[in-house]
Structure 1
């Protein structure tokens, strides 16, 4: 039976309708807890309750006031569940009444996950201003592009003003430099008015290194496990109940108080939990209770480096109940097929063959031996297509390159069009990374703005050491330098210049075709068939729905290749040809082809034909 109140936020500071502050802090080892009102010379004592929780109801604390907690008469600390940190991660917390925001999205109806066409953005580099308010002004652009869901990289408060977001240390607090809580609420409200769903990236596998005060309040971390970023969050060790509640309430807050439509949970394979109910399963259960109460649908999407259907299977089938997962394997296979380097974990993937398998089976490794992992890896999946998110690039696979080069700097213009098509004709949920739709030239590099000089220098040295074998290609940019951040911002002026203008129109056309053609927008994996020719580097993807077929012909080679698709129709009608002159290609592909599809495919091209049955 749930002990969490899904209808309202209880952890931290909240205000009732009369303006009284309700304060709840988990500090199981403390003997005394005081609330200090910064600059007012006032203190309010909290009372210890069950399970290590301290609480008080008071009118001494008002919205806008700055405050600290003091444990056992010693160190003054910001609230671990702070909603606002106007003076950065080491400063006082600010009390907010987030229920004061005037929502106008009461008529918003969240659509099925299968209709998601996702656009991943980083608020700090999406616009020159780097704020929610500035991003709001670009929503019409996204609607015109055909996007249906905007995914925001993490916004939990981090040190300074420059960070990818994965170093956040206040999980409940929206980054102040982006516009804070009200800025995010306004952005979501405006997105809903435009018909856009909003996905928020959250990090439940670790907490950043600077300004991380959680361990001073209680056993938020455990020595039992470790992650690549330090000690694991304590989801199953002593005193884990308070930690679990903290993160469950965090998930509920984004949905209930910020009207977020879906959460993308970062690297859940790094969450260690051997409890009878995994923390993801508990989040699923509590979110389902919230959905019952509000009638609003919310989705849980995970980044997962495991081909394990337990994460995305429903709870009644012994799964954790996540709605969808990212599959990097599609990206890896697509990247290798496009001719990019086959190093590191990319070495596990065979051009064309691996991509064809991912189209058919989602997972490339579903029980086969992985040479990179040195073990048999993965399991077969029959889960529907809308449970998988695919992409040709994202923040990780761009930003974790030494120089942060986007795909537009690594392949030809013709290949850019082919990669776009390869993602958007897949039987999965497509995701674009900001700027890819017009071939942004600026890199997306790794940047931070740590305040602690020792930590800053450690990060700088670590980044250089990581890429020391690549110095023949230049030196890794300084992640602390403001220039590194500024270079990563989008250049919006490019959309009116060639070839960017044409590429943008190509993306719009592709997305419109995906939405209009039933074989493409109905994500039934049983009606997908794929053939490939490894030597010719050609893939023929067939998508079907009722009597209609869409044939997707992809030539990844640099030479013209002949194909003969033995599927008869009175005539095949061209939906799109990336090699056509209108897309700055080399030649027009026939608009109509009778009988079987027998064609000479131009190099690095994608061509779509339909038998026109509706």
Structure 2
């Protein structure tokens, strides 16, 4: 069942809303000409009416003849979360991407960005002039943090109250379509971060419409969304239709599903499995595949296994263990969940298979965690060395550039792009942006603002951070988080960007790096130093790489695979602002090598 307003053409619009426990529902047109039109209810609790309403019409739903509320499936909220909804004509947009065929998941170089802080203007269309820079870098997919309507104009997006409404402050529906169309013209896929585990607190009127929530389960945000309790069929429909809506109406190439471990469903067919089936079946007429990528802390391969083998059929997932391995090796942090990581053996294991915790005991959790991902292909794991969570959920919101040395940044970048997984950058990472990425909101309810402040303080206690937290409501934290793009080609920032560009180019040119078959990989580590050796092969070529996370030079005799090895990249070279390499241009078996502290080298044969 489609929900919301659907413009039919010729000045007609069909309105559909689910409100099973209401005795009356009407469409209250408030502009251009005020009128109230009663709706008819069907046996499933859907109310419907087809009325004279052109695009741009503003309306509420009137509940039981008393209360006006915005449409839960509003497609545009031009007057913020408490104002009327607007009728949108999706058929009128002049798409130019009819020849677009998408970027295969295994070829993606993903770039996560926050629309509001990516540019000073903070809009969808302001991103377009920078697409050429991203394309030159080698990025072929951008991932937008959530853009569903939230209160005010400053928010990460996870407080969205209208999951169908592209944020008015970012440019609304047409602004998003213009961006997607421009991305496709540039050869760049668009992944949208969507939130199906909770709703934002301000402007969220779902409870007034029906049993969208259940008290059977509790999340960190309160009662869980109702995916398996009474009336859950229509709640599931609401969010399933939302996924199709973004992929179909906006030509989005993939969805990143936020924190799916907080989607509670004990029914016979899990909501995520139903979603994967719906996306595949209902978009099958398209010439290219749309992707679903889950964020999950469960380390459970059931999420990404095919439906035929009992899995949910989700295409890929974020792999946080990889990030934690790299982060702890470079920073030495051992607090909160980082206490489970910190050795080169951890990184060796993650590089080999994805998860570190695959049924092994977790000190942080005080129990065993995860199951084995050994048989899952590398393309099913999206890995990063920074993302919005890992930066913004720190007390001072420091990026990795503020936590390790310049040499450490280079090693981290190499680890990301030499891995057999799908790499993701966080905006500004490629040039070592040193501005923080703070947590920010712009709520209007004073009690809610205070609750957010208190919640942030409680969250930081687990990290043993006791300093006063920045005020998330303050304009200053938002302004501090805007990228300083003028730095991206200056001095050391420009050199780091060139290194990222070189690593991405290698990944695209060297078949052994483009091949994400984990069975074509050998990875080992030293017992005496934080050094990793990586051997990846294809039918056409092979690479051999050394990654030194130690703060001291390491001298050792590696086991060199057979081949005529030529050095193609060395982070100690002066070109990359290194102190000068001592590694040979050609690599021979039995050679004793000395690799500089916090450096890497790549040989190919």
TM class by smaller structure: over 0.9
Q: Summarize deviations over 1:5-63 as a string: whole Å, max 9, x none.
A: xxxxx21001124342011110001111111111433111111112000101111x211
State the alpha-carbon separation in 1 of the partners of residues 419 and 41 from structure 2.
55
Aligned to 2:159: 167
State the alpha-carbon separation in 2 of the partners of residues 473 and 420 from structure 1.
31
State the alpha-carbon separation in 1 of the partners of residues 463 and 192 from structure 2.
34
State the alpha-carbon separation in 1 of the partners of residues 158 and 528 from structure 2.
41
Aligned to 2:369: 377
Residue correspondence of structure 1 range 241-390 to structure 2 within 5 A: 241-381=233-373, 382-390=375-383
Q: 1:535 aligns with which of 512, 522, 528?
A: 528
Q: Summarize deviations over 1:126-159 as a string: whole Å, max 9, x none.
A: 0011000101111001100100110000001000
State the alpha-carbon separation in 1 of the partners of residues 465 and 188 from structure 2.
44
In the TM superposition, what is the alpha-carbon distance from 1:536 to its structure 2 partner? Answer: 1.1
TM-score, normalized by length of structure 2?
A: 0.97
Residue correspondence of structure 1 range 103-182 to structure 2 within 5 A: 103-182=95-174
Q: 2:404 aligns with which of 405, 411, 425?
A: 411
Residue correspondence of structure 1 range 9-88 to structure 2 within 5 A: 10-39=2-31, 40-59=33-52, 61-88=53-80
Contiguous gaps of at least 5 residues in structure 1? 5-9
Please tell me whether the aligned partners of residues 513 and 575 of structure 1 are also in contact (alpha carbons under 8 angstroms): no
Please tell me whether the aligned partners of residues 511 and 540 of structure 2 are also in contact (alpha carbons under 8 angstroms): no
Q: Cα distance 1:599–1:93, how it changes in 2: closer, same or farther (>3 A)?
A: same
Contiguous gaps of at least 5 residues in structure 2? none
Aligned to 1:517: 510
State the alpha-carbon separation in 1 of the partners of residues 276 and 592 from structure 2.
49
Please tell me whether the aligned partners of residues 166 and 203 of structure 1 are also in contact (alpha carbons under 8 angstroms): yes
SS of the residue corresponding to residue 590 of structure 1 reads: coil
Q: Summarize deviations over 1:226-284 as a string: whole Å, max 9, x none.
A: 11111110000000111000000000001110000000000001100011111111111
Please tell me whether the aligned partners of residues 568 and 596 of structure 1 are also in contact (alpha carbons under 8 angstroms): no
State the alpha-carbon separation in 2 of the partners of residues 139 and 14 from structure 1.
32
Please tell me whether the aligned partners of residues 80 and 170 of structure 1 are also in contact (alpha carbons under 8 angstroms): yes
RMSD: 1.5
Verify: 1:583 aligned to 2:573, yes or no: no
Aligned to 1:607: 601
State the alpha-carbon separation in 2 of the partners of residues 469 and 116 from structure 1.
35
Find runs of 4+ consecutive structure 1 residues off by over 6 angstroms. Answer: 468-473
Please tell me whether the aligned partners of residues 255 and 293 of structure 2 are also in contact (alpha carbons under 8 angstroms): yes
SS of the residue corresponding to residue 302 of structure 2 reads: coil
Q: Summarize deviations over 1:517-557 as a string: whole Å, max 9, x none.
A: 11111001001111101431100011111252211101111
SS of the residue corresponding to residue 537 of structure 2 reads: strand
Q: Summarize deviations over 1:62-112 as a string: whole Å, max 9, x none.
A: 110110000101110000000111111011111111221110000101132
TM-score, normalized by length of structure 1?
A: 0.96
State the alpha-carbon separation in 2 of the partners of residues 440 and 590 from structure 1.
33
**Count of paired positions:** 602
Q: Cα distance 1:229–1:597, how it changes in 2: closer, same or farther (>3 A)?
A: farther
SS of the residue corresponding to residue 507 of structure 1 reads: helix
In the TM superposition, what is the alpha-carbon distance from 1:326 to its structure 2 partner? Answer: 0.4
State the alpha-carbon separation in 1 of the partners of residues 401 and 466 from structure 2.
18
Please tell me whether the aligned partners of residues 77 and 92 of structure 1 are also in contact (alpha carbons under 8 angstroms): yes
In the TM superposition, what is the alpha-carbon distance from 1:377 to its structure 2 partner? Answer: 1.4
Aligned to 1:464: 457
Aligned to 1:7: none
SS of the residue corresponding to residue 488 of structure 2 reads: helix
Verify: 1:441 aligned to 2:434, yes or no: yes
Q: 1:526 aligns with which of 519, 529, 532?
A: 519
State the alpha-carbon separation in 2 of the partners of residues 295 and 19 from structure 1.
32
Q: Cα distance 1:570–1:274, how it changes in 2: closer, same or farther (>3 A)?
A: closer
SS of the residue corresponding to residue 256 of structure 2 reads: strand
State the alpha-carbon separation in 2 of the partners of residues 343 and 494 from structure 1.
32
SS of the residue corresponding to residue 397 of structure 1 reads: helix
